[in-house]
Amino acid sequence: LQKAALEEIASAADQAALQALRVKLLGKKGVLTAQLKGLGALSAEARKTRGAAVNETKRALEAAFAARREALEREALARQLLSERLDVTLPGVAFPVGGLHLLTRLTHRLLDVFRSLGYDVAVGPELETDDYNFRMLNFPDEHPARDTQDTFWTEDGRLLRTHTSPVQVRYMLAHRPPFKVVAPGRVFRNEAVDVTHEAMFHQLEALVVGERVTMADMHGAILSMARALFGPETKTRLQPTFFPFVEPGAEFAVWWTNPRTGRGEWLELGGCGMVHPNVFKAVGYENVTGFAFGFGLERLAMVSYGVPDVRYFFNGDLRVLRQFRGPL
Ligand code: FA5
């Protein structure tokens, strides 16, 4: 029995076969168990020698089972290692890499400049109320100046902000002067889209309020920004214009060297002026003066990077996006 059983165990094909064999030989109804049970019928002397022999066989079988199980496990592992082998010399798959949008990078650059000049950075909601976008900025009701802003209204009487100037009001209500703050963000205007006009674009607003803030301070701030962006020789120019929330109001331009032509030229950036007394009144400020300015980032980016059409910024054309892709 022992020799045949040992051979059978050693050649069991897998764990299942081995288990079946174990039941057949050592199980409750197994061959060896039957033999052990049969011992009772023997004489004391015979039972002793026979019992020892059966137990010896049982130990031998147990050892054989253990050895075979281990061998099968080793084989299975070897097979698995072989089938799941990785070829580490294969070239990798190149994943497409994203990047920051040109306007995002320009915004970061501008914020860096203003932070270095000691400005706080604030943001406001894109969905605004008439109060913040117009009324508290000294746009009288039904005033024609509102029409210049081509407003998108919502059904509940709110609006998509037409400029970043409402952030001025929100900031003044939440802080006490003196302060310097800039506010970048998206703005929306319901106007015919063309090469230089989008329905959604970006502005950067600046507001400085204190006890004796002057027009000279405003000129200095615009000059510092222009020089940080375009170099130490850069000049700035102010030309009178009208905005309800400033008095006097001006358009500002910076002198820069156009890298495409190599020639110096004026670049109109946006509006500026001394904060109108009615705006201070609306937020409850007394005995302070201040200046504000705001300009369009697309305008700046178009000229700086030679982008010929404002619509390229947001139509998602990967050829354009890749061309201006910067580091994250
Ligand atoms: C304003 O929006 C004022 N809030 C700026 C201001 C702030 C004046 C603080 C005084 C004090 P304006 O409507 O001119 O002003 O717009 C400012 C800039 O936004 C423009 O110079 C232009 O660069 C840009 N811009 C205006 N409309 C569009 C448009 N449809 N698409 C792209 N850029 C535009």
Closest residue CA from atom 26 of ligand 1: 296
Q: Helices in the chain by DSSP H: which ranges?
A: 2-10, 15-26, 31-38, 44-83, 102-116, 130-133, 166-174, 215-230, 277-282, 297-305, 318-323
290 lines ligand 1 (CB under 6 A): no
Distance from residue 296's CA to the centre of ligand 1 (Å): 6
> How confident is the prediction for the chain on average, in pLDDT?
91
Dist. CA 116–CA 221, nearest whole Å: 12
Dist. CA 307–CA 312, nearest whole Å: 8
Closest residue CA from atom 31 of ligand 1: 197
Residue 134 CB partners (closer than 8 Å, separation 6+): 146, 149
Give me the percent of the chain exceeding a pLDDT of 70. Answer: 98
Q: How many residues does the chain have?
A: 328
Could you tell me if the ipTM is greater than 0.85? yes
On the question of pLDDT at 146 being above 80, the answer is no
What's the pLDDT score for residue 244? Answer: 95
Entry pTM:
0.74
146 lines ligand 1 (CB under 6 A): no
133 lines ligand 1 (CB under 6 A): no
What is the position in ligand 1's atom list of the atom closest to the CA of 206? Answer: 9
What's the pLDDT score for residue 85? Answer: 87
Residue to substitute in 103, 134, 191, 203 for testing ligand 1 pocket (most ligand atoms within 8 angstroms of CB):
203
Q: Place 323 in a pLDDT band, splitting at 50, 70 and 90.
A: confident
Distances (CA, A) of 96 to 99, 194, 244, 253: 10, 32, 48, 40
What's the pLDDT score for residue 28? Answer: 86
Distance from residue 163's CA to the centre of ligand 1 (Å): 7
Residue 219 CB partners (closer than 8 Å, separation 6+): 236, 238
Closest residue CA from atom 23 of ligand 1: 296
- 22-78 pLDDT per residue, tens: 998 888 888 888 888 888 888 888 888 888 888 888 898 899 999 999 999 999 999
Per-position DSSP letters for 293-305, written without gaps between them: EEEEHHHHHHHHH
The answer to whether residues 115 and 224 touch, using CB atoms and an 8 Å cutoff, is no
Distances (CA, A) of 181 to 89, 310, 311: 55, 27, 29
What's the pLDDT score for residue 319? Answer: 87
Closest residue CA from atom 15 of ligand 1: 271
- 226-268 pLDDT per residue, tens: 888 888 988 999 999 999 999 999 999 988 887 778 888 888 8
The answer to whether residues 226 and 239 touch, using CB atoms and an 8 Å cutoff, is no
Distance from residue 134's CA to the centre of ligand 1 (Å): 14
The angle at the Cα of 108, spanning 102 to 114, to the nearest 5 degrees, equals 135
Distance from residue 204's CA to the centre of ligand 1 (Å): 9
